[in-house]
Chain A
Amino acid sequence: MYRIDFNKLRFLICDDNPHMRRILRTLLHSFGAREAYEAEDGATALEMYSHYVPDIVITDWAMPIFDGLELAQMIRQPDSKGNPYAPIIMLTGHSEKRRVTVARDAGVTEFLAKPISAKGLYQRILNVVANPRPFIKTKTYFGPDRRRNTNNAYIGPERRVGGEMEVLQQPSLLDKARTSV
């Protein structure tokens, strides 16, 4: 079975609430992470993102200056000099389905609704580490493949065109890794 070597991962935490940052830091350190940088607003987070080049970003949604959604959109600039592919986990008090859709369309990789739990956070991190999705670039979107269901029979709106669907995912390690949780 597999487990994550957290001490090789660098995290960027972005949350304006100091109590939530403390909780996140505590959880990540308990998982074994040693490097967890913290920002209290989106603008600072973007600067730290460029400076520290984190492997995984964990961000709140509602924040001053610019929020977690805008942060995700700024990271997901395909022509930026920084890394536009880093996994972004949106950890938020928003708990409406439409918010999940909005976050997904901004390029967020995983959505985790508060209240936070150690298991929920670990599973999201495991997902982005063990089962990365290919990125899709269209005129209006750049981010992780929003379709987790690869059913060829889908005929609804917003079907991509361009010939036979190709699924280019890498071999999944998720199922094996899950057995370690």
Chain B
Amino acid sequence: MAKEKPGSLQIKSFADHHVITQPNPLRKVLLRVPESDLDDPVGRAEKALAGLSGEFKNWMTIEADRLSAAHAAILGDGFASDNREELFRAAHDIKGDAATFGFPSAGAAAESLCRIIEHAPDLDEVPASLITHHINAIQAIVRERTKLDTTVMASALSRQLRGVADEFLVKVNRDRPEHLEAILAPSIVPAE
């Protein structure tokens, strides 16, 4: 593979830092091609991704079921560290994957749930119904997607959940400025 030769580093030392440069070890993978080159790797990848899309509904169902299982563990044993981590990871995965799988509203509801888990001072003090509504909403969005008019409803549902969750988080974090700042900061991902 494209590797640099040992000993090729150049180091410049300053009072409080060093600047280290090396010849670009990946330079050789950059190929000069004529302007007429029609290769379109991004287009090819988008086509390949579209080819996977037949599996997305099934994948999304698996992700939603994993979230429900994590929630069931919490209902049974409380917010022990492992349970909390699994609920967060399951919600976080849906937040990241759902839009790719064609379920952006499920992703938005999962993001709202992640924010609750991350910023609530004490998860045992979070109204159980707030978490349950998020889980149920995600399940409903995933399972009812094929029905008419569910896209608009799913979007409205996730927005409403986010509104309620944010109101709760702002209230319980009023004395925790670092969390309040994070809660109110805009996302770097454009809104749906």
Contacts and interface: CB of A to CB of B under 8 A. Distances in A.
Interface of A: 1-6, 8-10, 16-17, 19-20, 22-23, 26-27, 29-32, 35, 53-56, 62-64, 85, 87, 92-98, 100, 113-116, 118-119, 121-122, 128-130, 132, 134-139, 145, 160-163, 166, 168-170, 173, 177, 180-181
A118 B107 CA distance: 19
Contacts of A168: 10, 12, 19, 21
Contact of B14 (A23, A130, A161): A161
Given A16-B89, A138-B17, A95 B99 contact: no
Nearest to A10: B1
Contact of A163 (B14, B24, B51): B14
Interface in B92-127: 92-93, 95-101, 107, 111, 114
A110 B121 CA distance: 31
B33 A122 contact: no
B152 interface: no
B49 A137 contact: no
Contacts of A64: 85, 89
B80 to A, nearest CB: 15
A60 B39 CA distance: 29
B93 A93 contact: yes
B145 interface: no
Contacts of A17: 93, 97
Given A26-B45, A32-B41, A96-B187, A136 B19 contact: yes
Contacts, number: 193
B41 A162 contact: no
Interface size class of B (residues with CB under 8 A): 35 or more
B32 interface: yes
Contacts of B20: 134-137
B48 to A, nearest CB: 4
Given A9-B2, A55-B25, A137-B17, A31 B30 contact: no
B148 interface: no
Contacts of A138: 16-18
B42 interface: yes
Contacts of B2: 8-9, 55
